[in-house]
Structure 1
Amino acid sequence: MTTGQATSPRGGVRAAVLGALLVLAGLNPAAAAAAPGPGPESACAAGTGPYQRQLEEHLGRPVDGVQSSADCFAVRAFQRENGVSPADGYPGVATYRTMLVVAARPNPNAEGDCPVRSYRVTCVDMDRQLLWVQQGSRIVFPVVPIRTGRDTQETRPGWHEVYWRSKDHKSTLYADSPMPYSQFFDGGQALHGRTGYLYAHGGSAGCVNLTVSDAERLWNLLTEGDAVYVWGTKPGTDD
């Protein structure tokens, strides 16, 4: 004998008829039941953002630079799919930087800006604010977002190598600010994790900042002597 709420024959017939009508209309009954109805969840009211056109183009929306309700829903779906918080539909800097990562994933070195070598090369693309590690043509550390030096404190371009690693480092210049998983590559500039919001204050003081989780994964891959190649110009800094 089973327990639970009984279902009347008439209710079962109504449900079957409704399901059949949805199928005939080309709709998935399960998806229709899960779709948001009227109310706060279905509303998306974020306004036009600073990266409106870039997100519209990436998401296949009409590129007019003005946020519509449909744009907002598309941006919010992208944010949810890629772990951007808050997922509110606003085309801000975190969503734009995530878009650059997603767009670069299939082949971050498509333009050939990072030299291909038989050994590991950590590629720091200041134009797109991205980092990855390649060995030959193989990507051995997937592309992630970064924050390089702000105007007048730019990250130095060119060839470098990791010369010192300090897992729980604290800055001697900036009030003992934490620099977890520091891997120094040039005159005090390091690859390291940044606690808090990665994109704050317009840039670092010259270091290459990653999220702490990305910095930890990079720490577990690299070692002293590994090559680092930096190129490009961080948006908003002088050439």
Structure 2
Amino acid sequence: MKILSAAALCLSFVFTTPAAVEAGRLIAKVDVSEQVMRVYKDGKQIHKWRVSTARKGKYTPRGQWRGKHLSKNHKSSLYNNAPMPYSIFYSGNFAIHGTNQTSRLGRPASAGCIRLHTSNARKLFAMTQQVGTRNLKVIVQN
């Protein structure tokens, strides 16, 4: 009887687990020297996208963070209301977001944020919504 009760408890946990836990971990790994982001879900690379990080005189911080908050139609309060669609903030004012300057992707061009093609930013934003910001790890390295 105890075994059946334990099995029933386990099954009830499986069917009531939040979607964020079931969806698995998401990693956005940015290589600044390559100007590339690789996206991993459950340990498997699922995307490789060109990015733009900080231009000369600016800085994109290196390190590891968890996603902090999302802002679908964000406008920069620091840079003349510049559009930052599908923003995923990870450290203070630093975010991963879409850009309309797609011709600059693949080389340093930002004031410190990580810019993506807007369609790719939309995909990453949706995946982050699915798993929850706490399950997004952002890694920025040289």
Fold similarity call, TM over 0.5? yes
1:146 aligns with 2:51: yes
Q: Secondary structure at the match of 1:175?
A: coil
Select the structure of larger CA radius of gyration: 1
Alignment-derived partner of residue 12 in structure 2: none
Letter of the structure 1 residue corresponding to residue 39 of structure 2: V
Query: Of 52, 77, 80, which residue of structure 2 is paired with 1:172?
Result: 77
Alignment-derived partner of residue 228 in structure 1: 138
- Figure out how many residues of one structure are paired with residues of the other and give that number: 114
Alignment-derived partner of residue 121 in structure 1: 27
Deviation at 1:154, TM superposition (A): 1.5
**Which segments of 5 or more consecutive residues in structure 2 lack a partner in the other structure?**
1-23
Deviation at 1:125, TM superposition (A): 0.8
Q: What's the TM-score once normalised by structure 1's chain length?
A: 0.45
Deviation at 1:152, TM superposition (A): 2.9
Deviation at 1:175, TM superposition (A): 0.8
Alignment of 1:89-128 (within 5 A): 119-128=25-34
Alignment-derived partner of residue 3 in structure 2: none
RMSD: 1.9
1:184 aligns with 2:94: no
Question: Structure 1 stretches (4+) deviating beyond 6 angstroms?
Answer: none
Identity of aligned residues (%): 31
Q: Matched residues in 2 for 1:198 and 1:147: separation?
A: 10
Deviation at 1:121, TM superposition (A): 1.4
Letter of the structure 1 residue corresponding to residue 138 of structure 2: V
Q: Which has the higher contact order (CA 8 A, sep 6+)?
A: 2
Q: What's the TM-score once normalised by structure 2's chain length?
A: 0.73
Q: Deviations over 1:69-98 (max 9, x none)?
A: xxxxxxxxxxxxxxxxxxxxxxxxxxxxxx
**Which segments of 5 or more consecutive residues in structure 1 lack a partner in the other structure?**
1-117, 233-239
